[in-house]
Amino acid sequence: MSGTPHREDTARTLVAGVGNVFLGDDGFGVECVRALREQQLPPGVEAVDFGVRGVHLAYQLLDGYDTLILVDATARGGAPGSLYLVEPGTPGPEAAQGAVLDGHHMSPDAVLALLGTLCSGTGARPPRRTLVIGCEPLSVEEGIGLSAPVAAAVPDAVRWVRDLVQGDDPGTAKRETPAPTATRTHGL
């Protein structure tokens, strides 16, 4: 838990970059958060590189966030570098019963399931809204560094995050830049 003091009247948003930087494009979320941390973010918004530490992410969320924005490589069948905005359903505590608790290889679904279990045991509440900004990877084979199409998508993804935390629709960003392809989907 971060222990970061916050004002109760400020909505809190956690932007979590997840992925393994040693698996090529799987490091997309981590690279996006690095870029975000170089910018001034609105009050109440934190950008944190969680990498492969899913359990740490679940515990951080117990600090009380209104919105969680996960940024990750997300294979959905599009062209490499395509961006997706996904609003997953929040799994209940029963989903965590089948979750494998491997602190270094937890998918976002497993993190949310673990969070449901932790919240039910502590009285904490999960974020009201969870969004995933995903990028179609070209390769998640061993290797450091993003492929060209995924690296080119990082600035657009950062703009999407900034639009979301400022209350704007990131769908307008996709009209400003024709590539990479952007789609909005619901459900994982």
Dist CA 106 CA 13 (whole Å): 21
Can you give the pLDDT at residue 57? 80
């996904």: which residue's tokens? 86
| 90 pLDDT higher than 60 | no
Residue 46 has a pLDDT of 93
Burial call 30-58: b when 16+ CB within 10 Å, e when fewer: bbbbeebeeeebeebbbbbbbbbbbbbbb
Dump pLDDT digits (tens) for 94-129: 333 443 333 345 555 656 665 666 566 666 677 888
Q: Please, are residues 114 and 52 in contact by the beta-carbon 8 Å criterion?
A: no
What's the mean pLDDT when you consider all of the chain? 75
Task: Please tell me the predicted confidence (pLDDT) of residue 11.
Answer: 83
Higher pLDDT, 179 or 152: 152
Domain ranges of the chain: 13-186
Query: Would you state the pLDDT for residue 54?
Result: 73
In angstroms, rounded to a whole number, what is the distance separating the alpha carbons of residues 64 and 25?
30
Rounded Cα–Cα distance for residues 111 and 102 (Å) = 10
For 68, residues 6+ apart whose C-beta sits below 8 A from its C-beta are 13, 14, 16, 61, 127, 129, 130, 131
**Residues 48, 65 contacting (CB under 8 angstroms):** no
Distance (Å, rounded) from C-alpha 11 to C-alpha 39? Answer: 19
**CATH code that applies to domain 13-186:** 3.40.50.1450
What is the pTM assigned to this prediction? 0.73
Mean pLDDT within 55-66:
81
Could you read off the pLDDT of 29-51 as tens digits, one per residue? 999 999 999 998 999 999 999 88
* pLDDT at 15 (0 to 100): 95
φ, ψ (nearest 5 deg) of residue 28: -55, -50
Indicate if the pLDDT at residue 151 is higher than 90.
Answer: yes
